[in-house]
Amino acid sequence: MFTDPSGQISISGLLWNATTSILGYIVAAVMSIWDQDVRDDMNKIGWNPFNSDESLVLNSTKVSFYKGQFVIKSNFTLTSHRSFSFGIMFLVSSMKDTPYGRDVVKHEWGHFVQLSFVGVPKFLIFYGVPSMLSGNNPNYFSLPWERSADLFGGVSGSNWTNPHTPNSGFFSILYLLGVLAI
Amino acid sequence: MKKIVLFICLVIFSLSLSGCKPDSYIYDGDYPEVYSVVLNTIPGAEGYMLSECYQDPRIEFIEEDQFGRKMYLYYEGKSISTYSLIIVQYSDAVETCYYLNRNFISSNENNFTESNINSFKAENDWNCEINNDEFTCIPISTLKGPSPLTYEQIKPFYEEIFPGDEHFSDDRWIEYFVSDEYGRIMFTVEARFESKWAIMMFFPDGTYDSENGFLILTDFYTYQNQLKEFEESNNWNEPLE
């Protein structure tokens, strides 16, 4: 039901991403009627959901859009103040407009692309769970489930604690192909 | 569909339980002696990098002189002192020592020039006999201490320094910096929509000098002399009157 005719690429991810973005846009439009912060945030990106300026995302207060992905900014106490992406980009508000912060936005968008490829169930199992379990790894952004997010987002890795390890990009693509093949 | 919703709930629940929290963040890298110096001397340093998780800052050993002084690179992705070179004069398992107000230089990129590095080394007596009399020594620590003041105590001063800033209800922009031997406390704050940082000084009881007790920084890399003058004019490390 959620795969294309070849059976390789799940369309549930595309559907999920499209739905969250469209709903996010509607929610932002409605909230902007009474919420000045939301209105300012959306005016900042010219109400363009395909905004590609990471700085505008980082300088928003409550919501934004980045390359079609709906962004919510908050403290996220429930997730121990961590940013993450699951269709919607959940970005910690204290993230600053620095080269590091801009790379975080790009990386989270990379997860949006991963989700589009593999679909919701596989994303949760092969990207979400490993990501949660590997948070203390010093080479976190070189792990296969993170590295392809950097590849898709266009993150060089120079601003992370440790630069990408050699061949990590190659292995992340192999991992993605393996997940698609399952 | 029910399974997916259940799985999402599990994911969020696990995220909330896993151990990567700022309150419990402890540096477990190879250079706690450098880490301790950074937290006590570089304004705005939080001691971790925040993204999907709290990660160690980048600390790289660069060079050692013939008397055991060591130079390191420090980076945690901040807009203030983005990349810093640090010289540690001496360290053992218990304490780490440095020259106050001249133990680091900073840049927005890792592109320190040879001449900058040489003058930095000269200020830190590189390749000269160790001079214990000039040291400031602190205990080695792998976590930043808790703030001695509450946000409610800090907030009024913050509002005076950056009137109109939109995040007075939000404590995430305030960082505890350092305390002196007599209980004075410094905090750093980054203005939300301006390219400014401020250093605020409080007395041990939470009161402050609204005329002279703050320093606004617009140059985020070569402020060391400004900071030194600010500390001197506020009797930092002098007995309380």
Q: Is A86 on the interface with B (CB under 8 A)?
A: yes
Task: Tell me whether residues A80 and B18 touch, CB distance under 8 A.
Answer: yes
Contacts of A120 in chain B (CB under 8 A): 4
Question: Would you state the structure tokens that stand for residue B104, as one six-digit string?
Answer: 């680091």
**Ramachandran angles phi, psi of B137, nearest 5°:** -115, 140
> How many domains, chain B?
2
pLDDT tens column, B189-230: 888 777 888 999 999 999 999 999 999 998 899 999 999 999
Assess whether B128 and B155 both reside in one domain: no
Q: Searching chain B, which residue's CA lies closest to the CA of residue A119?
A: B4
Query: Is residue A24 in a domain?
Result: yes
Query: Is residue A133 in a domain?
Result: yes
List B residues 114-173 in contact with A (Cβ-Cβ < 8 A).
Answer: 166, 170, 172-173
Query: Is residue A68 in a domain?
Result: yes
> How many domains, chain A?
1
Task: Tell me whether residues B53 and A104 touch, CB distance under 8 A.
Answer: no
Query: Is residue B41 in a domain?
Result: yes
- Torsion, Cα A146 A152 A154 A158, to 10 degrees, reads 20
Assess whether B157 and B115 both reside in one domain: no
Assess whether B47 and B112 both reside in one domain: yes
Assess whether B76 and B132 both reside in one domain: yes
Query: Is residue B9 in a domain?
Result: no
- Coil, strand or helix at A20: helix
Task: Indicate the pairing of strand B58-64 with strand B54-55.
Answer: unpaired
Task: Tell me whether residues A161 and B56 touch, CB distance under 8 A.
Answer: yes
Residue-number span of the structural domain to which B229 is assigned: 151-233
Rg (chain A; Cα; Å): 16
Assess whether B108 and B174 both reside in one domain: no
* Mean pLDDT value of segment A110-131: 92
Annotate chain B with DSSP letters as a single string: -HHHHHHHHHHHHHHHHSS--GGG----SS-HHHHHHHHHHSTT--SSEESSSEEPPEEEEEEE-TTS-EEEEEE---SSSSEEEEEE-EE-SSEEEE-TT-SEEEESSS---HHHHHHHHHHTTTTS---GGG-EEEE--SSPPPPSS-HHHHHHHHHHHSTT-TTTT-GGGEEEEEE-TTS-EEEEEE-SSSS-EEEEEE-TTS-B-TTTSEEEES-SSS-HHHHHHHHHHTTTTS---
Mean pLDDT of chain B: 87
Assess whether B126 and B171 both reside in one domain: no
Domain stops at, among B105, B139, B173: B139
- Coil, strand or helix at A64: strand
Query: Is residue B135 in a domain?
Result: yes
Substitution target from A20, A79, A105 for chain B, most B beta carbons within 10 A: A79
Contacts of A114 in chain B (CB under 8 A): none
Query: Is residue A7 in a domain?
Result: no
Assess whether B117 and B171 both reside in one domain: no
Q: How far apart are CA A177 and CA B41, in angstroms?
A: 48
Predicted confidence at residue A1, as pLDDT, reads: 42
Q: Searching chain B, which residue's CA lies closest to the CA of residue A141?
A: B52
Predicted confidence at residue B172, as pLDDT, reads: 66
* Mean pLDDT value of segment A20-30: 96
* Residue at B176: amino acid letter: Y
Assess whether B155 and B126 both reside in one domain: no
Assess whether B113 and B47 both reside in one domain: yes
Query: Is residue A3 in a domain?
Result: no
How many Å lie between the alpha carbon of B237 and the closest alpha carbon of chain A? 31
**Which of the four pLDDT bands, split at 50, 70 and 90, describes residue A58?**
very high
Residue B1 vs residue A15, higher pLDDT? A15
Which of A18-32, A117-131, B44-58, B121-135 is predicted most confidently?
Answer: A18-32
How many Å lie between the alpha carbon of A26 and the closest alpha carbon of chain B? 22
Residue-number span of the structural domain to which A37 is assigned: 12-181
Q: Is the pLDDT assigned to residue B81 strictly greater than 50?
A: yes
Q: Is A107 on the interface with B (CB under 8 A)?
A: yes
**Can you give the pTM of this predicted structure?**
0.86
Query: Is residue B185 in a domain?
Result: yes
Assess whether B123 and B157 both reside in one domain: no
Query: Is residue B226 in a domain?
Result: yes
Predicted confidence at residue A87, as pLDDT, reads: 92
Q: Is A36 on the interface with B (CB under 8 A)?
A: no
Assess whether B180 and B111 both reside in one domain: no
Q: Is the pLDDT assigned to residue A89 strictly greater than 80?
A: yes
How many Å lie between the alpha carbon of A177 and the closest alpha carbon of chain B? 23
Assess whether B95 and B157 both reside in one domain: no
* Mean pLDDT value of segment B35-45: 94
Query: Is residue A5 in a domain?
Result: no
Q: How far apart are CA B195 and CA B151, in angstroms?
A: 22
Residue B28 vs residue B72, higher pLDDT? B72
Which residues, 6+ apart, have CB-to-CB distance to A85 below 8 Å?
A69, A108, A109, A111, A112, A115
- Select the residue of B11, B54, B79 nearest A124 (Cβ to Cβ): B11
How many Å lie between the alpha carbon of A156 and the closest alpha carbon of chain B? 14
Residue closest to A66 by CA, chosen among A135, A34, A20 = A20
Q: Is the pLDDT assigned to residue B174 strictly greater than 90?
A: no
Question: Would you state the structure tokens that stand for residue A92, as one six-digit string?
Answer: 């910690």
Predicted confidence at residue B16, as pLDDT, reads: 45
Tell me how many residue pairs between chain A and chain B have CB atoms under 8 A apart. Answer: 99
Domain stops at, among B106, B139, B172: B139
Query: Is residue B21 in a domain?
Result: no
Q: Is the pLDDT assigned to residue B63 strictly greater than 90?
A: yes
Domain stops at, among B139, B168, B199: B139
Query: Is residue A158 in a domain?
Result: yes
Task: Tell me whether residues A80 and B15 touch, CB distance under 8 A.
Answer: yes
Q: How far apart are CA B96 and CA B119, in angstroms?
A: 22
Contact of A30 with A23, CB cutoff 8 Å: no
Query: Is residue B208 in a domain?
Result: yes
Query: Is residue B4 in a domain?
Result: no
